[in-house]
Amino acid sequence: MLGSEILMTAIIATSSAQSTAPSEDNSNDGYIMVDVEKLEDSSYKAHDSSKPGFVAAELSRDAE
Amino acid sequence: MLGDSHNFGRAVRSENSLVLKSRTVFWEWLLLGGDSPLSLYFSSLNEDLHLPFTVFPRLSFELNEYPNESKCERLKVNEIAFDEYVFTDVQLGAFGSVLALCHFFGISDLHYENTVFGIDEKDGRLIFCPIDVEVVFENNILLSQALLLESDSLTNGKSGTQSLLAGLNNNQLTKVIVSYLEYSYLLGRYRKQIINYLQNELFIGKQRVRVLIRPTADYATDRDDRKFSRCENEQLDRGDIPYYFRFLESKTIYHYTSKEGIYKPCLISDRDLEPTLNHIMDYDSLEHKFDDSVFLVSALQMIKRVIDEAPFTFELVSIFRLDITKDKILMNYRGNKIGCYL
């Protein structure tokens, strides 16, 4: 499912970035760390405004 | 006219205390109608499921078959003075439940002009609701995709929660988020019954749902005929913003070919429609769509976007704990541990 794929990508992205991320405490005690920005970006691109299918991100119209 | 022209010059318009819409108002009636059967059904399942309806208006509707106009009582609200109004925990909880309900139903296009927050002029009740509900059952992962929350691609106060969330302090915001999670959890428990009710009692499969195949803004700026399909260009040529719809029981996308409401499948290629088809839910997948991880991640996005204090800690014994430090957010909801770096 598209959502799960995007979610997994965001989790993997954070895992690889973790070693270089500045952090005072690297032990996250079992927390799954998610790259929210990557997820926003991936979710956005999955429905990119340059392709059909993206629900309006830039709102320059009057609401219906 | 209150909005864009569609389908041979039709548009939403107002007449005295009514809003007249040349499309189904079934979805709005289901949520906002004074005689909403969904409100009653939710109460019968579990009293707590009724929570969002406590901040929904109770409007009158007249549902007519397209191409006849349907009618809706106009909702009028007064602004809330945040420094004078004291929100109860139940009201904050209701706000979170509205967000969860919108997410559950995949309601989209909920930018700042399509949501209402304020005091109902009619009965003095606190209101927070979507008002333009025609794009539903979309497969949104994050609230920002429904335009309910800001993201890097949606800024400048254009999200549907801007007028509400900007006025709350961090403790209040956290209560809204906890309620969002709790209500999502509750919907998850009852989803089979709810979907069965919608399919077999309300026959939602026969209802029309608008499908947006590209942002309306694309049509309004720098029109390039080569970028659009033939049927989009035909609609643009007659002065309409292209309009597509489907019946919820299928993914076939239609457009109207006459003012009298005759419709045909749209002839846009499958390749061009693929992103759209990936983003809408087919009838059979409704039950399987609501993955708990979606709500956890969505709550995490809300925390990251709206709580602007570090260090910040909030705990609701045995259910929820939030720790924000200068470099990360850690959230534990019912043993589900999730976080992000800042």
pLDDT tens for each residue of B120-143: 999 999 999 999 899 998 888 889
pLDDT on residue A39: 80
The answer to whether B30 and B36 are in contact (CB under 8 A) is: yes
How large is the ipTM?
0.80
pLDDT tens figures, A2-45: 455 555 555 555 555 544 444 445 567 889 888 888 888 766 55
DSSP result, B187-248: HHHHHHHHHHHHHHTS-GGGSEEEE-SS-HHHHHSS--GGGS-HHHHHHHHTTPPP-EEEET
Please provide the average confidence, as pLDDT, over all residues in chain B.
89
- Predicted confidence (pLDDT) at residue B271 exceeds the cutoff of 80: no
Domain spans, chain A: 1-21+29-64
Q: What is the pLDDT of residue A9?
A: 59
Taking CB atoms and an 8 Å cutoff, what residues of chain B touch A64?
2-4, 11-12, 132, 134
Distance to chain B for A13, nearest Cα, Å: 11
**Chain A, nearest residue to B106 by Cα:** A55
Kindly state whether A27 is in contact with chain B, defined as any CB-CB distance less than 8 angstroms: no
Q: Cβ of B275 and A2 within 8 Å? A: no
Residue B172 · residue B87 · CB < 8 Å? yes
Q: Model confidence at B250, in pLDDT bands (50, 70, 90)?
A: confident
**Inter-CA distances, B147 with B152, B177, B230, B298, B300, Å:** 12, 17, 29, 13, 16
Region B162-178: mean pLDDT is 93
Q: Could you report the per-residue pLDDT of B185-209, keeping only the tens digit for each?
A: 999 889 889 989 998 999 998 899 9
Cis peptide bond prior to A22, omega within 30° of 0:
no
CA-CA distance, B40 to B141, in Å (whole number)? 28
For B:71-130, CB contacts with A below 8 A are 108-109, 111, 113-114
- All residues at 6 or more sequence positions from A5 whose CB lies less than 8 Å from its CB, including other chains: none
Beta bridge partners of B333: B320, B336
- Residue B70's pLDDT band, with cuts at 50, 70 and 90, is very high
Instruction: Give the pLDDT of residue A24.
Output: 44
Q: Considering only the beta carbons, identify the residue of B215, B330, B340 that sits closest to A36.
A: B340
Half-sphere exposure of B308 (CA within 13 A, CB side): 7
pLDDT in tens, B52-65: 999 999 999 999 98
DSSP-assigned letter for residue B111 = B
> CA A8 to CA A19: how far, in whole Å?
18
DSSP letter for B149, please: S
Matching residue, tokens 């919608």? B198
- Residue that is written with structure tokens 């919820």 in the block: B248
Would you state the pLDDT for residue B245?
Answer: 93
CA distances from B142 to B88, B98, B147 (A): 27, 15, 9
Which of residues 169 through 198 in chain B touch A, CB cutoff 8 A?
A: none
Of the candidates B134, B144, B338, which has its C-beta nearest A34's C-beta? Answer: B338
Position A55 confidence tier, pLDDT thresholds 50, 70, 90 = very low
Q: Give yes or no for a contact between B213 and B276, defined as CB atoms under 8 angstroms apart.
A: yes
Chosen for mutation from B109, B243, B297, B301 (greatest number of chain A CBs closer than 10 Å) is: B297
Residue range B307-330, pLDDT digits in tens: 999 999 999 988 999 999 999 999
* DSSP assignments along B262-322, one per residue: -EEE----HHHHHHHHHHB--GGGHHHH--HHHHHHHHHHHHHHH---SSEEEEETTTEEE
10 Å CB burial of residue B206 (0-12, 13-18, 19+) is: exposed
What pLDDT is attached to residue A42? Answer: 65
- Across the interface, of A1, A34, A48, the residue whose CB is closest to B300 is A34
